[in-house]
Structure 1
Amino acid sequence: MSPTNDTDPGHSLRGRRREREALARLVEKARAGQSEVLVVRGAAGIGKTALLEFLADRAAECHLARAAGVQAEMELPYAGLHQLCGPFLGPIAELPPPQRDALETSFGIKLGPPPDRFLVGLATLSLLAEVAGERPLICLIDDVQWWDRSSVQVLAFVARRLLAEPIVLVFATREEDDSDFRGLPELRLQGLDTFDAGALLDSIIPGRIDAHVRSRIIAETGGNPLALIELPSRLDPRLTGGFAIPSPRPITEQLQDSYARRIAALPEPTRQLLQIAAVEPTGDAALLWRAVDLLGIDADAALPAESAGLISIGNRVRFRHPLLRATVHAAATAQDRQRAHQALAEAIDADLDPDRRAWHRALAARTADEEVAAELQSSADRARQRGGVAAEAALLERAVQLTPEPRRRGERALAAAGAKLRAGAVDETLSLLAIAETSPLSDSDRAKAALVRAQSRFVADRGRDAVPLLLQAARRLEPIDPRLAMDTFLEAISAAMFAGRLAGSPNVAQVARDARSGTVSRSRDSLGDQLLRALTARFSDGYRASIDSVRAMLQAICDGELTAGQLRYLWLAAATAADVWDGESWQRLATEHVRIARETGSLTELPLALNSRAVVHLFAGEGDAAASLVAEIPNVTASTGTHVAAYAAMALAAWRGDAGSARTLIETNLADVRARGEGVGVAMSYWAEALLELGLGNYEAALSAATDAASYPDELAVPKWAMSEMIEAAAGAGHRDLAFEVLERLAEFATVSGTDWALGVEARGRALLAGDSAADNAFRESIGRLGTTRMVAELARSRLLYGEWLHRGGRRAEARTELTTAHELFTTMGAVGFAQRARRTLRAVGVTVQAQSLDAAATLTGQEAQIARLASDGLTNPEIGAQLFLSPHTVEWHLRKVYNKLGVRSRKRLADKLPARSTN
């Protein structure tokens, strides 16, 4: 990659007044302390680079960072990012250790475990913010379409996290859609208008030109500046007379033809020199001269190309335009390109740059070559260690092509397929699997190939068809690799749980029985072993028979130290804790899930963790905390391109009684999860609907939704919650027989669980259906039991129902006490629908309660509330930023807004202004 893009310095920027003004404003905003991001899109030659040059000229007294992509046939991991950040690595020592280690490992400065790319993104954000702390930083990234994938993903992440830093990021790229930048501000370039195009053309063609010919050229080029500069050279105005037929081909093709004719006219040694320069992506002039010398080409061979303005060679090699480089490459024969790559491979020091040398050797190879393939495999290993999954996959894929021995070729194809899957390239994964599966693999590798195929299906459709494939892979792995078989059975159970009622066959019970019948169930040590035993018991033997195994698993997990290696198990463990009504374990596991996902930078895992933890907050009556996590999820998913169902957002809107938002979210979520075969999402959607309708007092609607939510009991937790909603809704709607039937089922689960949470909810259901004396005692039991737990929302609902029952029995004074307490609890936790329900009954017993106006804390956004809470806990700005994937400057910017809204001057007073947390 070259540090600046190829451009023609002989022509100044013409026109583009609107675009220049927009770019100039970016610099002014950076000088005012604001962050700005812009994606400049346009066809080849349209003027993107010229606008970046204009912006660079306006960046006086700012730090200026520049990088540009060069069309090359490989991806060196984080090469583009290193190019951009290389001049600013001094402040890297100031970064938090995990971020510093991630960045140094990705750049090859040190060895370490492969860093998550989003932790690299956070480190890059912190580094750029440190640089911008001195003076504004302007980052210009040209030809992004030719950047390595890892670098693009990191900078797209950074672009979405910028807010209060004096940093400008400008990306110039072709018009092709790029999902990494989707949603970012854009500037789309069109051709110059007729006046400016004519002025540029007049400056190119000496003397006078026929007016008809002039108009025809402007029309044919569409105002593309590069075309206006290059294409007139192939026209003879005296012959056309203004009546030339415009070419129907795209301008890019016409430009390439023009360049190809100019290249063909050069001497052979000059063309060879250009071919070497075209396939050497770093722009390293010294390397070019060494390679040229190895081929016996005299240095003077560069003169005709330099005289023609096609290339300039100083400290760096620069082509007139990237399209010219591409044309040189395309015009060369396969033998010419192989010769150029071989010369570069010989010119590169194997000790200093073994990966680039290996790649050039690979492209120079005419036939299969085990020595070169082995070098590529070593390069792939180094790429993986640096976190470059896409590079690892590309290197292994080329190694497959060069491997002569069939069995080894199959092994490398299998490794490449796994790398492609980790990189998210499912179609390419399947192509490589086809090569592996037709090779003479060992039984072990065939089983692993079956696993990769199953995992690729799960990635593609989130579990609908993956369950049987994962199960088959686990069976095949049992006699070969028991540890991997255990992990695969857990994956199969997880996929079946997600698929739930939409799984078909095999369902989760069948998967669990298969897992139990295998040898993996004899393991005893790891968290995965314990979790697998508990889940196979739960889904094979039933709720009652598995409770001891589940409790033992939860106690062992919660008593131990949870680490990054256990991250993938935490969702399953937390869901199991909720299923047995173990609120303490649920809270701990969900909290640890978020913590470890944050610390490791696992942003693909973080949205699932945030969803889980937010629901725990809702049950604890911590609506503000839930809202802050819900607000964070879209920011994370936008940065990663991942998708998760809006479980927590849906539940939060329902709990708040926001009927419009809740119903929209529920309807959207149902369509989404049904399309993807995610049955657990169906249950969660209907439970949220039941919760919403109960808060609004719509008992028939609540009963219908709760019945749907509870209809598949093998789904963890949610069907049991829905049984409680069914009892309340059925009792309220007068369907007592149905309520008794559901209460009997709920009581079985509650008795087996034996926790105060479970027994408190069961006592509430019993109270709704009992006679006077028994009902009073049951309500008091429910309130007493729930009062010992962290489930404040459940406690408030029991007090509300008790108050309503007291009112119906004419016990007005007692009703006032319970209803007032319930109203205060609901109001504090933001449960507007249930608070209104309590207020209506209070009026009926003679108490007028004014709807409370929002206190200052309620005016905070979700992210502001989250930052305020963390600051009140004593975390520093860098520590808060590391948790929330924000720069310390952005944290400080949010805190200033928090202080202003809450009327405080420092973080010491924040705790007094924030809602109290549950102390249970």
Structure 2
Amino acid sequence: MLYGRSAETAAIDDLIARAGKGQGGALVLRGEAGAGKTALLDLAASHGGPMRVLRTTGVEAEADLAFAALHQLLLPVTGLLDALPEPQAEAVRGALGLAPAGSGDRFLLAAGVLSLLAEAAAPDGLICVVDDFQWVDRPSADALLFAARRLRTEPIAMPLAVRGDTPVPGLPSLEIAGLAEPAAAELLDAGFTLAPPVRRELVALTGGNPLALRETARLLTDAQRAGREPLPDPLPGGSRLFGDRVAALSAGARLTALLAAVESDLGLVLRAAERLGADEAALPELESAGLAGVSGTRVRFRHPLIRSAVYEAASPAARREAHAALAEVSDASEISEGDRRAWHLAGAALGQDESVAAALARAAERARDRGGYGAAATALTRAAELTPAPLVRARRLTDAAEAAWLGGRPGQAESLLAEARELAGADTALPMEITRLRGRFELNSGNAAEAVRILAAGDTLDMLADASEAASYVGDTAAMIEIGRRAAAFPEGFLRDVVAGIGATLAGDGGHDLLRRALGRTGELREAADFLWATAAASHLGEVDLSAELAERAGRVARVSGMAGQLPVVLEFVATAERLAGRLAESRAVSEEGLELAREAGYANTVAAHLANLAAVAALRGEEEACARHAGEALAIAVPHRVGLRAGLAAYALAMLDLCLGRFAAAHDRFTAIAAAGPGAGHPTVVWRSTPDRIEAAVGAGDADAARAALEAYERWSSHAGTAESRALLARCRGLVLPDDQAVEALGEASRLHANPFEAARTGLLLGERLRRTHRPGEARAHLRAALETFRRAGADPWARRAYGELRAAGESVRPEENGPEENGPEENGPEENGPETPVAVPDVRGTALDALTPQELRIATLVADGATSKEIAARLFLSPRTVEYHLYKIYPKLGITSRTELARLVVLRKAPAAPRSML
């Protein structure tokens, strides 16, 4: 029975009730040992009515066993795995040891866990109970937290109990404090007779901790309970709280208890107990003493403090003997027992032992193959401690560092790598590998300029490619040219051609043929990283539309096949492609997802990338506060980290905000500063890609000379671009600086060439403005109507208001309730005298209803229009198939439709051809 927990009970009941309505969530119950967290979890498990209950408990002895907690939680529902997208199902099967390891990508695995929980929740909902989260193994904890943060549309309640200050990021928590005196008194009175002053003192001394109250009261003498003798000082706790009960056990029961303290698996405990001579009555004795019990295939202590008391009561020699016995009875050929055996061998070891270290290294490899990078890092670190040979120890520390990095623990990764570097000695291969990892760590989370320095010291093509990538993030053109020159000495191949070609192109030495040869091999590419290099090649050729297509392919490959934790990086480029296509809602959704994943992975510089893209999206939507906030946060990371590419994008977002809102002078100043910024604070690609906007700002600010100078530079940069979209942007830039009559011709050419509807709308707006100014309003209106509709669909409100004002000035009445506020349009010239005033037809609702969808719903709708099934959509977006169906259930009534076919028709009206992508 629970005493004094009405508020906590209400919070748990609310969590379960909301989950029952499809509004799932998680709640962390945080408190000290004995506070009653487990009792509250038991309450949650019993309050769900018909809801299914799955449960797992972190066990300190299993904290280093990859996926131990997840195995316990999900084993009852593995029969539902066939309902998952195959990549997710494969990842989960591999993690649980039901199939060979999959891709090893922890994001795929986490998405699979979420999908499986969603399947288990049908039809009545699910309560997923996690106790002692502080001891849940790291890979299981990562997957569970990934799922817990994404339960909003699932009928799943996930209460988690955690002791102390163990971090559980991103989830709401409820502090489970000690009982107030009335409730504590009620608890004590239910089992003991205490004098009121004793009871009050006991409550004060224990802080109302329920376990401490009961156990301490049980240990008191009759005289102490009656107040005739003082209470013990200090009160018993930990081993002293349960030490007498452990000491009272028979020798066989104490031995069995010690085995259970270092191993929870019932079969192993019983076999080891038999090997060490404990009789069959030992386990029943533990159960009858109320210290431990059997739960399924596990031995559970009634409270973690009992386990502590048992362990503390044993001598170091006895602990080693217990580990040794458990290792002897473990089956090394079975994955789970093989991992346990390795850890027990480590627990039994005295000093360094290569055979034990090798066993731990094999366990780490198995964990890594299943995506358990955190567990692999822990096992390899311990293996290194046990390794006698310094060079082998350095190798294992290096592998541990890489596993920690991929597991989202960059601080630990750097520490391990520093230790490995000290041990590597004169070995030729390992120091270079350590150097490469140092450079990758810096590029992801540290100083990108330092990453260039570190990686450029390498002499392999892979390291030179990494160095070129780092230099491209910094914006260090000179370094990219030098690295490209060095790469040219390697044999011909895709990666060599890209790296050498980029360097030669930047140097003006005709690297375009190399880049085109590399792009000719895109049909052979299979890895997401290769598609990103192809994206870079197309970008340096100025073929932004092909670059966009390749970036999107990289994203699809990374989602389905995994990319060893690098998905947040790939999503930088996918989000950019969506933004430059004018699909602002989709771009924002991708960056929000990428931002969350990057923060979970500890990739600080990728966090800056997604923040900068969010700032640019907000600028195009005219959201000043969001733009300034995201840009400020991005700059706070990118500038000190010397990531000029992302610092430049954040600055670009602020400049675009001014341009969108018609603040031409301010925009001109910002674009001028971007063009002057050096490596680490700015970026040549940002300058290049933003030049059309810079020219528009300069013209608007009345600085014709600056506009013409920028055009000359843009013509040089675009000289090798061969796509229609690139020619369209160049024609638009020329049209901006020409006199009105010539400008109309140039802008008309640009309008005919555009493949990107959003850029076509911007050109159409400029063309319509010029046509109206040259007294050709009838011609202007068609361009302005199309631009207005495109801007409205994209949610680019500032541009829509500008087009709206131009339409009115061109003599066309526009309904404010449909297209924008009247006061924002320029009306100083009034209706044109040579064009009749005709109302704009109210846009077809079927063409604009998609604006009512959330970014997530819009992404799902777009994939449906592409013909993807719910399983395929779930695999791409890291959702469960049931979540996809839930969103479709909400999408249909919003749009007034009833089928996927109708949805596809709607999306076609909004979708654009392949969008240009830059490194902005």
> 2:581: which partner in 1?
620
The answer on 1:190 being equivalent to 2:155 is no
Equivalent position SS for 1:318: strand
CA separation of 1:321/1:596 partners in 2, compared to 1, >3 Å: closer, same or farther? same
State the distance in 1 between where 2:781 and 2:865 align. 35
Query: Contact 1:463/1:496 (CA < 8 Å) preserved in 2?
Result: yes
CA separation of 1:361/1:653 partners in 2, compared to 1, >3 Å: closer, same or farther? same
- Unpaired runs of 5+ residues, structure 2, are 820-847, 915-920
2:709 equivalent among 728, 733, 741: 741
> 1:357: which partner in 2?
341
Identity value in percent? 37
Per-residue deviation, 1:859: 1.2
Q: Which segment is superposed worse, 389-398 or 404-413?
A: 404-413
1:228 equivalent among 188, 206, 213: 213
Q: Which segment is superposed worse, 264-273 or 904-913?
A: 264-273
CA separation of 1:115/1:699 partners in 2, compared to 1, >3 Å: closer, same or farther? same
CA offsets 1:436-490 (integer angstroms, 9 cap, x no match): 5335552112222222333333344152422211222x2xxx3xxxxxx222222
Q: Which letter maps to 2:805? A: R
Q: Which letter maps to 1:580? A: L
CA separation of 1:130/1:401 partners in 2, compared to 1, >3 Å: closer, same or farther? same
Query: Contact 2:769/2:806 (CA < 8 Å) preserved in 1?
Result: yes
The answer on 1:56 being equivalent to 2:41 is no
State the distance in 1 between where 2:633 and 2:373 align. 33
2:547 equivalent among 582, 586, 600: 586
> 2:300: which partner in 1?
318
Write out aligned runs for 1:469-488 (5 A). 469-472=454-457, 474=458, 478=459, 485-488=460-463
Per-residue deviation, 1:661: 2.6
CA offsets 1:300-343 (integer angstroms, 9 cap, x no match): 45576555432335864221201221232234332121111011
State the distance in 1 between where 2:203 and 2:11 align. 26
State the distance in 2 between where 1:838 and 1:803 align. 9
Per-residue deviation, 1:143: 0.6
> 2:835: which partner in 1?
none
Query: Contact 2:892/2:898 (CA < 8 Å) preserved in 1?
Result: yes
> 1:517: which partner in 2?
486
State the distance in 1 between where 2:572 and 2:451 align. 23
> 1:769: which partner in 2?
737
2:377 equivalent among 383, 393, 397: 393
Equivalent position SS for 2:639: helix
> 1:656: which partner in 2?
621
State the distance in 1 between where 2:594 and 2:427 align. 43
> 2:423: which partner in 1?
438
Equivalent position SS for 1:676: coil
Per-residue deviation, 1:31: 4.4
Query: Contact 1:631/1:863 (CA < 8 Å) preserved in 2?
Result: no
Write out aligned runs for 1:669-748 (5 A). 669-711=634-676, 715=683, 717-748=685-716
Per-residue deviation, 1:373: 2.1
Per-residue deviation, 1:536: 2.8
Q: Which segment is superposed worse, 366-375 or 615-624?
A: 615-624
Query: Contact 2:409/2:601 (CA < 8 Å) preserved in 1?
Result: no
> 2:196: which partner in 1?
211
Write out aligned runs for 1:316-715 (5 A). 316-352=298-334, 353-433=337-417, 434-435=419-420, 437-440=422-425, 442-461=427-446, 463-472=448-457, 474=458, 478=459, 485-500=460-475, 507-514=476-483, 516-517=485-486, 521-525=489-493, 527-539=494-506, 541-542=507-508, 545-557=510-522, 560-563=523-526, 566-602=527-563, 604-630=565-591, 632-634=593-595, 636-637=597-598, 644-645=607-608, 646-711=611-676, 715=683
CA offsets 1:43-100 (integer angstroms, 9 cap, x no match): 1111111112222233443322121111127522211111111111112233332222
> 1:482: which partner in 2?
none
Aligned length: 873
CA separation of 1:130/1:841 partners in 2, compared to 1, >3 Å: closer, same or farther? closer
Query: Contact 1:270/1:302 (CA < 8 Å) preserved in 2?
Result: yes
Equivalent position SS for 1:90: helix
Per-residue deviation, 1:683: 1.2
CA separation of 1:41/1:842 partners in 2, compared to 1, >3 Å: closer, same or farther? same
Equivalent position SS for 2:26: strand
Per-residue deviation, 1:597: 1.9
CA separation of 1:425/1:441 partners in 2, compared to 1, >3 Å: closer, same or farther? farther
Query: Contact 2:484/2:501 (CA < 8 Å) preserved in 1?
Result: no
Q: Which letter maps to 1:355? A: D
Write out aligned runs for 1:69-108 (5 A). 69-72=58-61, 74-108=63-97
CA offsets 1:336-384 (integer angstroms, 9 cap, x no match): 2111101111222333322211211121011322222222222222222
> 1:889: which partner in 2?
882
The answer on 1:899 being equivalent to 2:886 is no
State the distance in 2 between where 1:431 and 1:839 align. 58
CA separation of 1:99/1:230 partners in 2, compared to 1, >3 Å: closer, same or farther? same
Equivalent position SS for 1:187: strand
CA separation of 1:245/1:444 partners in 2, compared to 1, >3 Å: closer, same or farther? same
State the distance in 2 between where 1:579 and 1:243 align. 86
State the distance in 2 between where 1:871 and 1:439 align. 53
Q: If the length of structure 2 is used for normalisation, what is the TM-score?
A: 0.88
Write out aligned runs for 1:108-257 (5 A). 108-178=97-167, 181-205=168-192, 207=193, 209-236=194-221, 238=223, 241=227, 254-257=237-240
Per-residue deviation, 1:687: 1.9
> 2:830: which partner in 1?
none
Equivalent position SS for 2:448: coil
1:874 equivalent among 862, 867, 870: 867
> 1:829: which partner in 2?
794
Q: Which letter maps to 2:59? A: V
CA offsets 1:267-300 (integer angstroms, 9 cap, x no match): 5554333222211133x1x322322232233444
Equivalent position SS for 2:456: helix
Query: Contact 1:220/1:246 (CA < 8 Å) preserved in 2?
Result: no
State the distance in 1 between where 2:482 and 2:386 align. 44
Q: If the length of structure 1 is used for normalisation, what is the TM-score?
A: 0.88
Per-residue deviation, 1:147: 0.7
State the distance in 1 between where 2:372 and 2:401 align. 15
- Unpaired runs of 5+ residues, structure 1, are 1-11, 479-484, 501-506
State the distance in 2 between where 1:183 and 1:428 align. 21
Per-residue deviation, 1:901: 1.1
Per-residue deviation, 1:791: 2.3
Query: Contact 1:615/1:651 (CA < 8 Å) preserved in 2?
Result: no
> 1:263: which partner in 2?
246
> 1:8: which partner in 2?
none
Query: Contact 1:118/1:602 (CA < 8 Å) preserved in 2?
Result: no
CA separation of 1:62/1:663 partners in 2, compared to 1, >3 Å: closer, same or farther? closer
> 2:843: which partner in 1?
none
State the distance in 2 between where 1:837 and 1:302 align. 80
Per-residue deviation, 1:32: 4.4
Equivalent position SS for 1:72: helix
Query: Contact 2:449/2:642 (CA < 8 Å) preserved in 1?
Result: yes
Equivalent position SS for 2:35: coil
Q: Which segment is superposed worse, 704-713 or 147-156?
A: 704-713
Equivalent position SS for 2:72: helix
CA offsets 1:394-424 (integer angstroms, 9 cap, x no match): 2222222222333333333333333333334
Per-residue deviation, 1:902: 0.9
Q: Which segment is superposed worse, 859-868 or 718-727?
A: 718-727
Per-residue deviation, 1:857: 1.9
CA separation of 1:96/1:372 partners in 2, compared to 1, >3 Å: closer, same or farther? same
Per-residue deviation, 1:528: 2.5
Q: Which letter maps to 2:473? A: F
Equivalent position SS for 1:380: helix
Query: Contact 2:239/2:310 (CA < 8 Å) preserved in 1?
Result: no
> 1:7: which partner in 2?
none
Equivalent position SS for 2:200: helix
